[in-house]
Structure 1
Amino acid sequence: MLQRKTVHIGSSLLRESVKNQSCSISNVVSHPLQNSLRTYLHFCGYKQHPNFGFALKQTKILKQISRTLRTRRQAVSHLDSVLSDDVTDTDDTPPSRKPQDVIQTLSTKSDKFTVGKTRESEFQNKKPRKTGMDIAKELRQKKLNSDEPEKDTEENLVKKAVNAIKMTDFTYVEDEAIAKLIRRHVIYADNKMVIFNKPYGLSVHDGDGISKNVKQVLPMLSKMIYGVSTDVPLSLCHRLDKNTTGVLVCTADPALESHVKKMFRLNLVTRKMWAILVGIPHPQMGIVNIPIGQAQTTDKLTSKQFTRMVARPTVSYDKMTGEETARSFSRGQTAITKFRVMDSSRDVSLVEFEPETGVKHQIRLHAADCLDCPILGDHKYSKMDSLAPQKVPINILNRFKLPPTKTRYIPMHLHQSQILIPDVFDHPEKRHLVVGARMPVHMDRALRLFRLNPGKPSQWKVKAIPPPQLEAPPSDPSNPLFRNPQAETDLSNVKPVDPVDQCVFVFRSQLHVKYKKY
């Protein structure tokens, strides 16, 4: 028989009871502690006895233990701890207590266990189990209440820098929250049109892989502006890229919608877009007139194909000789962009673009491929054949306090600051509308970091609308366009009307709408 130097009195009494066969077998076969006690006795040196068992009277305390303790192993260990409070058994002092004394000992110590009504009262007074959300709230509250500042380790500094430039992801944002956000960014609203400053990272139209966009929240936005009981349909007149902020025009009148879309289609809408470029363009003012087209390219690293706009110039230039040769075939769309450097610092510049045409990704491509100065945060057009994050000079990263491995978090710094729409109003003196939008937070922060000053704004020039062409001869007196030179007065002293004086300038929120509650 296996002997141990020191065992609890519980195990020695159980061994004695099995040896003397004082515990007769009973009908308690399905007792929850039977398997655990059998394993326990086997560990102490006894094989399974054919007459091993416990009577109902002798297992009453064990049933009480099993109600409170969850696992069988805990029940057995807890039983040993209770028995070991009084006496310990060694090889020198053989056990002298009988099994009946064990049961009496357990009965006297049963106040440690809860049975019956006492157990129910315990569960009533028991505190509710904490969830993960409760623990997280407690940790946040401890951080807020703690007077000790966080340690400025390298990891914490990188996290702070990333959180400072990380933008909102609208994938899991509800439509109502997006509509409220756009409502706070409304610049101008009347009974016929709504103009707002589009947030960063929000698509205008739906498409593949786009779950949230401006178009799907326009009905909610209409009710927030015109009233809950109203049903005014809003329609988009143009579009902006997902990562581009700035002025976005919506109309509520079908006649005005067709007019504004026609102005955009004829390139009569004047737009001014501000961008922070990596590098300084040379010359600092000019016009880029290079057609662009869409093409399929392959990433060198991943061999993945993606769609990208590429430059398709009509003239090829030889750098060695300086000769220009006309190309016989070019499948590109006409793209003309005016640019002006407003301010520059080391390796960065603030440039104002004025696109004359409206081709997809026109400014981004002209800045990256034609001026060789990509927009800061434009990871798609920074490289010709790669989708890797943009390579930024180390001095720019130091301003953002970012390591080179975190450049993918830098947002694109492109903003449509102002827009001029001609012939919007029916007023004879004020016919045009000029709307300006504030810069987003990340661009404002970048201007402060790089100490860039936009300076004085450039002058507006209203594009002349071509008159309708009529084939009626002007010499016919019956023609309403007939002009008699003899009847005309001298107009030399009359000053021409400046189209800019006929503009209504809106740079702060103006709502000319009466909200209807019912």
Structure 2
Amino acid sequence: MRQPSDKRPRRRFSDKDIKRFKVEHDDTLLNYLFTLFGDKSRTTVKSYLTHRQVAVNDMPVTQFDTVLHAGDELKINFKAGFSVFKHNRLRLVYEDEYILVIDKGYGLLSMSTDRIKTGTAYSILSDYVKSQNPENKLFIVHRLDRDTSGLMMFAKSKGIQEQMQHNWHNMVLERKYVAVVEGQMEQPEGMVRSYLAENAAFQVYSTDNPEEGQLAITRYKVLSSNKHFSLVELNLATGRKNQIRVHMHDLGHSIAGDRKYGAHGSPLGRVALHAYKLRFAHPVTRKEMNFETPIPPRFLSITASTGPSAVDGK
């Protein structure tokens, strides 16, 4: 299996080798470093970036024009570069000693199943944290469907996982998705409310019976549309299994590519659902954490009112 990080021997360093700075004013990274290290040559300061010895809010950074904001934390490792995660199926968005936030690619399982044990988001990231320390562990906070891409959070301890899950509705301030749905929606915005249950074939369905299922509420807003497809922003008030997929099907506008829930075709070659916003209170610092990923370009092009015909998926 391809390893998520390089296998070059890592130089040992301790916390005393890392110096922390609180950013006092907005600036670009390199300019701020020049200000901090006025006693060092410009070549030396630039080398900190080249050798991945600089981290902004715990994420290693090499781009000299990275924008800093007042309150950000800078870390400089004077002995070695910070390890950098790389993988072609997911992107590490944020990491600290308590949590990880990733941008998961579509087609990638969040965690193992009875048939698939490796090559999941969990196994890839577990290998990564164990490469730093074999005793490190990882815990899933919430999941995304295999064919859904976007933002996902993991905890580095059981306690943090339980804290986030048990206080989910208080700590998670915003979760938004975008989806390409079939057809032109009748209303520009609205809400779907139902109770979701699951049958023996693992198909989730809506019911009006509160004793049969769990309450699910999805708010939606149309961002763009044409005769064939609509780009919809979805805000979850609850987080049930397949909630968005079922509710869009209930409205008569299944998510493109989602044949399990009524889609007629797959013009993008995938289920067109992406988790693009995640805002929550950090479980330890209580700082508000706000993450956003770009809407996939093909989502935008296929729903553009003046774009090419979406019938044939071009």
TM band (smaller chain): 0.5 to 0.7
More helix by share: 1
2:106 is the alignment partner of 1:200: yes
Q: 1:175 to 1:409 in 2, by over 3 A?
A: same
Match of 2:194 among 290, 309, 312: 290
Q: Mapping of 1:241-320 within 5 angstroms?
A: 241-264=145-168, 268-296=172-200, 306-314=201-209
Give distance in 2, aligned partners of 1:334 and 1:379.
24
Q: Mapping of 1:327-346 within 5 angstroms?
A: 330-346=211-227
Number of the residue aligned with 1:444: 297
Match of 1:374 among 254, 260, 268: 254
- What's the offset of the Cα at 1:268? 4.3
Which aligned segments of 4 or more residues in structure 1 are displaced greater than 6 angstroms? none
Deviation readout 1:370-396 (Å, 9 max, x if unpaired): x110000101001xxxxxxx424xxxx
Kept in 2, the 8 Å contact 1:260–1:421? The answer is no
Kept in 2, the 8 Å contact 1:375–1:412? The answer is yes
Kept in 1, the 8 Å contact 2:257–2:264? The answer is no
Kept in 2, the 8 Å contact 1:246–1:416? The answer is yes
- Equivalences, count: 226
Q: Mapping of 1:378-389 within 5 angstroms?
A: 378-382=258-262
Q: Mapping of 1:164-179 within 5 angstroms?
A: 174-176=1-3
Number of the residue aligned with 1:391: 264
Deviation readout 1:414-436 (Å, 9 max, x if unpaired): 00001111253536xxx211111
Q: 1:338 to 1:251 in 2, by over 3 A?
A: same
- What's the offset of the Cα at 1:445? 2.2
Number of the residue aligned with 1:413: 272
Cα RMSD between the aligned structures? 2.8
Letter of the 2:102 counterpart = F
More strand by share: 2
Give distance in 2, aligned partners of 1:244 and 1:280.
22
Number of the residue aligned with 2:69: none
Number of the residue aligned with 1:191: 97
Give distance in 2, aligned partners of 1:213 and 1:368.
28
Q: 1:251 to 1:330 in 2, by over 3 A?
A: closer
Give distance in 2, aligned partners of 1:409 and 1:355.
24
Give distance in 2, aligned partners of 1:186 and 1:283.
36
SS of residue in 2 equivalent to 1:365 = helix
- What's the offset of the Cα at 1:220? 1.4
Give distance in 2, aligned partners of 1:435 and 1:426.
16
Q: 1:253 to 1:206 in 2, by over 3 A?
A: closer
Deviation readout 1:432-487 (Å, 9 max, x if unpaired): 11111234xxx42242244269xxxxxxxxxxxxxxxxxxxxxxxxxxxxxxxxxx
SS of residue in 1 equivalent to 2:218 = strand
Letter of the 1:434 counterpart = N
Give distance in 2, aligned partners of 1:351 and 1:359.
19
Give distance in 2, aligned partners of 1:452 and 1:250.
38
Letter of the 1:245 counterpart = S
Q: Mapping of 1:368-517 within 5 angstroms?
A: 368-369=249-250, 371-382=251-262, 390-392=263-265, 407=266, 410-426=269-285, 431-439=287-295, 443-451=296-304
Kept in 2, the 8 Å contact 1:293–1:331? The answer is yes
Q: Which has the larger radius of gyration?
A: 1
Kept in 2, the 8 Å contact 1:180–1:221? The answer is no
SS of residue in 1 equivalent to 2:165 = helix
Deviation readout 1:129-154 (Å, 9 max, x if unpaired): xxxxxxxxxxxxxxxxxxxxxxxxxx
Give unmatched runs, 5+ long, in structure 1.
1-173, 297-305, 315-328, 383-389, 393-406, 454-518
Give distance in 2, aligned partners of 1:285 and 1:450.
16
Q: 1:420 to 1:293 in 2, by over 3 A?
A: same
Number of the residue aligned with 2:31: none
Q: 1:200 to 1:265 in 2, by over 3 A?
A: same
Q: Mapping of 1:99-114 within 5 angstroms?
A: none
Q: 1:193 to 1:286 in 2, by over 3 A?
A: same
Kept in 1, the 8 Å contact 2:177–2:234? The answer is yes
SS of residue in 1 equivalent to 2:249 = helix
Q: 1:423 to 1:209 in 2, by over 3 A?
A: closer
SS of residue in 2 equivalent to 1:209 = coil
Give distance in 1, aligned partners of 2:149 and 2:256.
14
Q: 1:449 to 1:280 in 2, by over 3 A?
A: closer
Give distance in 2, aligned partners of 1:356 and 1:267.
13
Give distance in 1, aligned partners of 2:89 and 2:220.
32
Letter of the 1:448 counterpart = S
- What's the offset of the Cα at 1:223? 4.2
Q: 1:182 to 1:263 in 2, by over 3 A?
A: farther
TM (norm. structure 2) is 0.64
Kept in 2, the 8 Å contact 1:182–1:196? The answer is no
Number of the residue aligned with 1:220: 127
Kept in 2, the 8 Å contact 1:368–1:381? The answer is yes
- What's the offset of the Cα at 1:281? 2.4
Give distance in 1, aligned partners of 2:116 and 2:294.
26
- What's the offset of the Cα at 1:234? 1.8
- What's the offset of the Cα at 1:355? 1.1
SS of residue in 2 equivalent to 1:290 = strand
Q: 1:182 to 1:190 in 2, by over 3 A?
A: farther
